[in-house]
């Protein structure tokens, strides 16, 4: 009888431990958003049928953005891969760490890094504040194309990220003898060229990666940010009315659109057509000063825009109703002085990192499940005794 109980206990404990291990693996895998958020992958000037010469340097560009299936958050990663040197045709990346910075009205803030190595590239997002929506961006880096054949040959190699892939033909001439430096060599590759005007001099240079860019808003997007005057404290529940300057239809048959700020004090609309617009505040909570006769705010969506438009609007606190606790300077969160290049008015006032909450919740769920299983075993033993 005791042996049977021991066997049952062993089976249950094993099942629980297996669940914990699989849950941990699932948490890790869920961070790779290459399949859901990569929007484009290309090699500059490479079209179907293009042939690259072995040893040539190529520029790779990857684009990404938020979408309905997944909003990019802290801890997410995008991976880019290409064939290793054992393949007939392959690529070699130039070692580089590229900062990912988001543009805001107050300047740029760091939201992650892109690390390029010989065998691939990884984008890791960290430091994204809560008040950034519709994150979109790009990263460019350089690779060398190589063909490992010992005679004239043309073979294909592909660069892949998620569901996107770009394939190139790499040609090796019969008389070509150069190869990439050895595995033990420095990560940078040195190329040389002879000037036509001075054939006795060889110019050596190091290839570098070009960089990256992220926009907090896509072109045609309007975001309204409503805060208490002189602070970063958001004001939810404020209603704005958006109209076109010429009175024409905005979109979908609507000539005016009402926008209400959320708990972060923000309201947003996407895909606005090119034109002049105005926004007017039409309702606010009682604890802030509201002037219905104030002048509307005018802005323009232009063909030449490269990112969206942000309007930060302040309201002064009003004398509050006794039943309402109005935000004041005395009860505002304490915010540490901003570091250079990281304006404090673009960062969540709580200073909290939002990247770990999902994994923490999963581990807590697994722990509770384990405790429940062991409690059940203990109860059955007591009952049988």
Give CA–CA dist 281/106, Å, rounded: 23
Give CA–CA dist 357/309, Å, rounded: 30
Q: 34-46: per-residue pLDDT in tens?
A: 999 999 999 988 8
SS3 122: strand
pLDDT at residue number 206: 35
pLDDT at residue number 297: 92
Residue 209 and residue 141 in contact, taking contact as beta carbons nearer than 8 Å: yes
Helix (H) or strand (E) holding 116: strand 107-116
Give the CATH number of the domain where residue 48 resides.
2.60.40.1280
pLDDT at residue number 167: 93
> 65 and 156 in one domain?
yes
pLDDT at residue number 326: 46
pLDDT at residue number 361: 58
Q: Among residues 250, 262, 251, which one has the least CA distance to residue 223?
A: 262
> 125 and 248 in one domain?
no
Rounded to 5 degrees, φ, ψ at 381 are: -65, -45
Final residue in a domain of this structure, among 258, 286, 315: 315
Give the CATH number of the domain where residue 255 resides.
2.60.40.10
Does residue 292 fall inside a structural domain?
yes
> 140 and 41 in one domain?
yes
> 145 and 57 in one domain?
yes
> Could you list the pLDDT tens digit for every one of the 385 residues in the chain?
554 554 455 545 555 554 554 444 444 344 899 999 999 999 988 887 789 999 899 999 999 988 888 989 999 999 999 988 888 999 999 888 888 887 665 667 788 899 999 999 999 999 887 766 677 888 999 999 999 888 999 999 999 999 999 999 999 987 666 566 443 333 333 344 333 444 344 434 333 345 666 655 678 889 899 999 888 889 999 999 999 999 999 998 999 999 999 988 999 998 899 999 999 999 999 999 988 888 899 999 998 887 788 888 988 888 544 444 444 444 444 434 334 333 333 333 333 344 444 455 566 666 777 766 776 666 666 666 6
Residues near 59 by Cβ (< 8 Å), separated by ≥ 6? 43, 44, 140, 141, 142, 210
pLDDT at residue number 176: 65
> 141 and 44 in one domain?
yes
Does residue 14 fall inside a structural domain?
no
> 146 and 229 in one domain?
no
pLDDT at residue number 62: 93
Neighbours of 106 (CB within 10 A): 15
Classify burial at 203, counting beta carbons within 10 Å of its beta carbon; exposed 0-12, middle 13-18, buried 19 or more. exposed
Does residue 367 fall inside a structural domain?
no
Rounded to 5 degrees, φ, ψ at 269 are: -135, 140
CA 94, distance to chain mean position in Å, is 22
Does residue 113 fall inside a structural domain?
yes
pLDDT at residue number 205: 35
Q: How many domains are there within the chain?
A: 2
> 150 and 239 in one domain?
no
SS3 358: helix
Does residue 91 fall inside a structural domain?
yes
Token pair of 329 as six digits: 């300077």
CA 302, distance to chain mean position in Å, is 25
Token pair of 216 as six digits: 């907090």
Give CA–CA dist 369/372, Å, rounded: 5
> 150 and 92 in one domain?
yes
> 230 and 163 in one domain?
no
Residues near 30 by Cβ (< 8 Å), separated by ≥ 6? 358
> 164 and 44 in one domain?
yes
> 154 and 258 in one domain?
no
Give CA–CA dist 300/320, Å, rounded: 36
Does residue 215 fall inside a structural domain?
no
pLDDT at residue number 87: 87
Does residue 208 fall inside a structural domain?
no
Final residue in a domain of this structure, among 315, 330, 360: 315
Final residue in a domain of this structure, among 262, 293, 315: 315
pLDDT at residue number 85: 82
Does residue 142 fall inside a structural domain?
yes
Residues in the chain: 385
Q: Domain of residue 300: give its range.
A: 222-315
Q: 116-160: per-residue pLDDT in tens?
A: 999 999 999 998 877 666 778 889 999 999 998 889 999 999 999
> 238 and 113 in one domain?
no
pLDDT at residue number 71: 87
């Amino acid at each position: 009888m005791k042996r049977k109980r021991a066997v049952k206990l062993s089976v249950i404990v094993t099942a629980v431990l297996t669940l914990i291990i699989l849950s941990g693996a699932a948490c890790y895998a869920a961070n790779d958003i290459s399949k859901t958020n990569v929007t484009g992958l290309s090699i500059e000037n490479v079209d179907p049928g293009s042939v690259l010469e072995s040893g040539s340097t190529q520029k790779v560009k990857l684009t990404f953005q938020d979408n309905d299936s997944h909003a990019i958050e802290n801890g997410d990663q995008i991976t880019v891969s290409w064939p290793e040197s054992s393949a007939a045709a392959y690529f070699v990346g130039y070692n580089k760490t590229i900062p990912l910075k988001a543009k805001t009205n107050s300047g740029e803030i760091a939201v992650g890094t892109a690390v390029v190595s010989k065998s691939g590239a990884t984008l890791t997002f960290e430091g994204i504040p809560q008040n950034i929506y519709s994150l979109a961006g790009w990263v460019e880096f350089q690779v060398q194309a190589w063909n490992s054949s010992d005679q004239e040959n043309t073979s294909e190699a592909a660069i892949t990220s998620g569901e996107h892939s770009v394939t190139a033909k790499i040609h090796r001439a019969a008389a070509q003898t150069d190869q990439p430096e050895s595995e033990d060599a420095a990560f940078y590759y040195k190329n040389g060229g002879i000037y036509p005007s001075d054939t006795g001099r060889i110019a050596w240079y190091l290839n570098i990666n070009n960089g990256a860019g992220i926009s907090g808003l896509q072109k045609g997007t309007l975001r309204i940010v409503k805060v208490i005057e002189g602070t970063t404290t958001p004001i939810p529940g404020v209603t704005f009315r958006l109209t076109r300057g010429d009175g024409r239809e905005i979109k979908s048959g609507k000539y005016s659109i009402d926008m209400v700020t959320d708990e972060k004090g923000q309201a947003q609309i996407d895909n606005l057509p090119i034109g002049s617009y105005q926004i007017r505040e039409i309702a606010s909570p009682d604890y802030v000063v509201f002037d219905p006769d104030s002048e509307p705010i005018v802005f323009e969506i232009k063909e030449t825009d490269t990112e969206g438009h942000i309007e930060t609007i302040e309201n002064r606190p009003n004398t509050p109703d006794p039943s309402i606790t109005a935000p004041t300077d005395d009860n505002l969160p304490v915010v540490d002085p901003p570091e250079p290049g990281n304006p404090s008015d673009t960062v969540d006032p709580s200073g909290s990192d939002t990247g770990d909450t999902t994994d923490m919740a999963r581990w807590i769920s697994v722990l509770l499940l384990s405790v429940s299983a062991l409690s059940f075993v203990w109860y059955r033993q007591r009952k049988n005794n």
